[in-house]
Amino acid sequence: MANSDNSAPPPTSPPPVRSALSLPQSRSRSHGHGGQLGTRLARGTACEPLPTASCSLEMKVAVGPDPSLVYRPDMDPEKAKDKGSFRNYEAGPLLDRVFATYKLMHTYQTVDFVRKKHIQFGGFSYKKMTVLEAVDMLDELVDESDPDVDFPNSYHAFQTAEGIRKAHPDKDWFHLVGLLHDLGKVLVLAGEPQWAVVGDTFPVGCQPQASVVFRESTFQDNPDLQDPRYSTELGMYQPHCGLENVLMSWGHDEYMYQVMKFNKFALPPEAFYMIRFHSFYPWHTGGDYRQLCSELDLAIYAPLGAGV
Ligand SMILES: O[C@H]1[C@H](O)[C@@H](O)[C@H](O)[C@@H](O)[C@H]1O
Ligand SMILES: [Fe+2]
């Protein structure tokens, strides 16, 4: 485990990475949108204004709960958990590690911190690599915020992509979203602490809402909650300002979105949106933060309503 604030035990019985996934031989060619790109990852000094969303209301595929929720890898279907048993933050063998990661995240993710990270990584000068090189880097990463996944994230990337391919064989761009969605976690291999990379996201600059995991037990040392500008329900935002204008806690979603935008990934707008907000469980699954949503955000959210 590299560069982590809270060290992880070695993964237990890692499943065979990739071998059972029947990838196409020409995997990068068959999904040419991203696989062959020499992608520049961000680490630099230039400050980029907060990005604007590029989604249209014609969006056909709703952004949903993290695809990984549905397609958690499990080599043995007999032992596969049903959906309801994922994301248990009250009990389980990994609970201490998960709690420790969120405690740090909910203490140190502040408006100032997030603004600094946008500046630090807004220069896109960290490294040039292909998408598949980034996937390979994730061989070294076990996500310490995840109560369900205790093996390298590279495996999780392929499994998610293959699961989406099975469910949506006609949407090649969506398969690629599965492969890409967590690649922002390479930040951990670049020396960032896990609490600044992984886990569910939440808006900074306003009061954390009820469905944020460990909401009651992890925010007490976050200075923003003592700051009158940031501690009301709306905090520093205008009602219905739109998620594109909200400063989310810094992590792999926003970073990967920025990288895709900078490198002009040839993917539909919904792919960008999905990746940017896939960890925003308090919104897409918890149903919170509606007061910050634009009509577009609500239109995307609406199809999820029944399921959340
Ligand atoms: O712990 C997990 C993990 O970090 C995922 O990559 C993220 O998308 C989820 O939101 C989170 O629950
Ligand atoms: Fe993720």
Of all residues in the chain, what percent carry a pLDDT higher than 70? Answer: 70
146 Cβ below 6 A of ligand 1: yes
- Model confidence at 246, in pLDDT bands (50, 70, 90)? very high
Give pLDDT tens digits for 54-86: 333 333 334 444 444 444 444 444 445 566 689
Asked if residue 40 is part of any domain, the answer here is yes
Cβ(71)–Cβ(175) below 8 Å: no
Asked if residue 257 is part of any domain, the answer here is yes
User: Residue 157 has which token pair?
Assistant: 């990337």
Whether this model's ipTM surpasses 0.85 comes out as yes
Q: For a ligand 1 pocket test, name from 143, 185, 277, 281 the mutation site with the most ligand atoms within 8 angstroms of its C-beta.
A: 143
Asked if residue 16 is part of any domain, the answer here is no
> What domain count does the chain have?
1
Spacing, Cα 278 to ligand 2 middle (Å): 6
> Which amino acid would we find at residue 245?
N
Hey, how many other C-beta atoms are within 10 angstroms of the C-beta on 137? 21
Cα separation, 260 vs 287, in Å, equals 27
Per-residue pLDDT for 214 more than 60?
yes
Per-residue pLDDT for 36 more than 60?
no
Asked if residue 14 is part of any domain, the answer here is no
Q: For a ligand 1 pocket test, name from 63, 68, 185 the mutation site with the most ligand atoms within 8 angstroms of its C-beta.
A: 68
The predicted structure's pLDDT at residue 9: 33
The predicted structure's pLDDT at residue 26: 27
Asked if residue 188 is part of any domain, the answer here is yes
The predicted structure's pLDDT at residue 41: 54
Rounded mean pLDDT of 239-264? Answer: 97
Per-residue pLDDT for 194 more than 70?
yes
Asked if residue 15 is part of any domain, the answer here is no
Per-residue pLDDT for 197 more than 50?
yes
Cα separation, 299 vs 79, in Å, equals 36
Give the residue carrying structure tokens 């109560």: 147
Asked if residue 189 is part of any domain, the answer here is yes
For ligand 1, atom 11, the nearest C-alpha belongs to 199
Cα separation, 253 vs 63, in Å, equals 13
140: containing domain: 31-48+64-74+84-307
- The segment with the largest mean pLDDT, out of 6-20, 29-43, 94-108, is 94-108
Asked if residue 129 is part of any domain, the answer here is yes
Q: Which residues surround ligand 2, an ion (CB under 5 A)?
A: 182, 279
Q: Which ligand 1 atom sits closest to the C-alpha of 185?
A: 6
Partners of residue 41 on adjacent β-strands? 127
